[in-house]
Amino acid sequence: MKAYDAIVIGSSAGGMYALKNLIQGLKPGFRIPLIIVQHLSPHSDNYLAHFLDQLGILRVKEADERESIKPGHAYIAPPNFHLLIENDHTFSLTVEEKVNYARPSIDVLFETAAGVFRDRLIGIILTGANHDGANGIKSIRSFGGFTIAQNPATAESDIMPKAAIATGKIDKIWDINEISGFLNSLSNT
């Protein structure tokens, strides 16, 4: 089975519960880092990271500038910042223009992660009400990464997974529990 260095996840409308269900489905001790962009209000506090951290599966926190990506952790993009991956496997935060009306933007995370992790990256698009992430999925596939979209029939908002699927660059379309099961099969715990 191929080894992966990171998993990037994009979600928007309905994402809090999709992320909760995905993380709850992971085995304790899951090691591959998750890096998440959830569209949030610019004035949001760190409730999402706290909420997901309480599940006890992974250490979940907001990403900090220049922080190193560690196994067994999940990182959430802070509200009103784009989250980028640097070549040394650290994070950068920027307040550049919104992309697809969003900051943080899924595309920005996915495109920078694709250039760093190349064919050792998994990109996952979950529920959401816009097209953010579709270009990022294309980038991940162009570098040989593996791409997954939530089954639109099970998404609270099906626009984002449908936009990702429409790129023709999605490897698998799965329900949340199938995504978690696949990720568990990769984790060497």
Q: What CATH number matches the domain at 1-8+15-91+172-189, 3.40.50.180, 3.30.70.2610, 3.40.50.11900, 3.40.50.720?
A: 3.40.50.180
Which residues share a beta bridge with 10?
37, 125
Report the candidate in 112, 161, 164 with the shortest Cα–Cα distance to residue 137: 164
Q: Is the pLDDT of residue 189 over 70?
A: no
Q: How far apart are CA 142 and CA 180, in angstroms?
A: 24
Q: Is the pLDDT of residue 1 over 70?
A: no
- Please pick, among 11, 82, 131, 132, the residue that the annotation labels catalytic: 132
Active site residue 175: no
Look up the pTM and report it: 0.97
CA 39-25-176 angle, to 5 degrees, is 55
- Please pick, among 11, 12, 105, 157, the residue that the annotation labels catalytic: 12
Per-residue pLDDT of 109-162, as tens digits, reads 999 999 999 999 999 999 999 999 999 999 999 999 999 999 999 999 999 999
Domain boundaries, the chain: 1-8+15-91+172-189
Which residues share a beta bridge with 74?
34, 60
Active site residue 12: yes
Give the mean pLDDT of the chain.
95
Predicted pLDDT at 40 = 85
